[in-house]
Amino acid sequence: MEKKMREEAKKSGVHLIEKTQKVKLEPIETKGFILDLGGGGEGIIGKLNGNQVISIDNKIEELEEITNESLKIVMDACDLKFLSSSFDTVTSFFTLMYIKDQDLPKIFSEAFRVLKDEGEFLIWDLRIPKRLGDEPFFGVILRITLPDEDVNTGYGIKWEGKEQDIRYFKTLASQAGFIALNEGVDEEIFFLKLIAKKTKVI
Ligand SMILES: C[S@@+](CC[C@H](N)C(=O)[O-])C[C@H]1O[C@@H](n2cnc3c(N)ncnc32)[C@H](O)[C@@H]1O
């Protein structure tokens, strides 16, 4: 299956990271609802935490295709329709790589706004190097290990003008008011746990 995914990617002009990247996930321990940004695709966070998750995606067809138990709502992550300080946890599982650079500050500030004081924004994403050569797309094949299933999938984006790494996300996060609590880089993918510090210590 993986070989077929690689062959098809090559035919479509996708520059794939050579090695399959691996992510192992355990259910997120949190009270209340989890807001998952860009929760279509494979709907991984909804598979992980089920009906505790509110999956938002700006494409209805992405939400219609997933079969997890999350509550699915069509919504733009740049313009969240939730009241401020509504959530303990916001997640983005390989979604920010799909967002145009000019929209990223808004997404970080919206995540900050809807989180409660000390709420957490959990991000899994991909290092994207500066475009080299003429392949129009950049992508990765991921093997995601969940407690009761493994998901093999590919995520890819239009490469032109898109370049990102954990440092870039940390800068955007701090501009929005977040503090980085935890971080990890594993080969080409990274994880960031950000905390929304809303009350200033005097
Ligand atoms: C391929 S998915 C990422 C993986 C997905 N989180 C999963 O669990 O498989 C990226 C999703 O982000 C969505 N998306 C892109 N821009 C968005 C935006 N501004 N607001 C909400 N969703 C967005 C896309 O429609 C797509 O479904």
Q: Considering the domain boundaries, does residue 164 fall inside one?
A: yes
Residue 116 belongs to a domain:
yes
Total Cβ atoms within 10 A of residue 34: 25
202 alpha carbon – ligand 1 mean position (Å): 39
Nearest atom within ligand 1 for CA of residue 59:
25
CATH, residue 40: 3.40.50.150
SS3 9: helix
Mutate to test the pocket of ligand 1, among 57, 93, 155 (most ligand atoms within 8 A of CB): 57
Answer yes or no: is 41 within a domain: yes
Pocket of ligand 1 (CB under 6 A): 38-44, 56-59, 62, 76-78, 93-95, 98-99, 155
Is residue 202 situated within a structural domain? no
- Rounded-to-integer distance, Cα 66 and Cα 124, Å: 19
Report CA Rg, the chain. Answer: 17
Structural domain includes residue 160: yes
In a domain, 201, yes or no: no
Which pTM was predicted? 0.96
Tally of domains in the chain: 1
pLDDT tens per residue, range 135-152: 999 999 999 999 999 999
Euclidean distance between CA atoms 93 and 43, whole angstroms? 9
Q: Which domain holds residue 72?
A: 2-196
Digit-by-digit pLDDT tens for the chain (202 residues) are 788 888 888 888 999 999 999 999 999 999 899 999 999 999 999 999 999 999 999 999 999 999 999 999 999 999 999 999 999 999 999 999 999 999 999 999 999 999 999 999 999 999 999 998 889 999 999 999 999 999 999 999 999 999 999 999 999 999 999 999 999 999 999 999 999 999 876 6
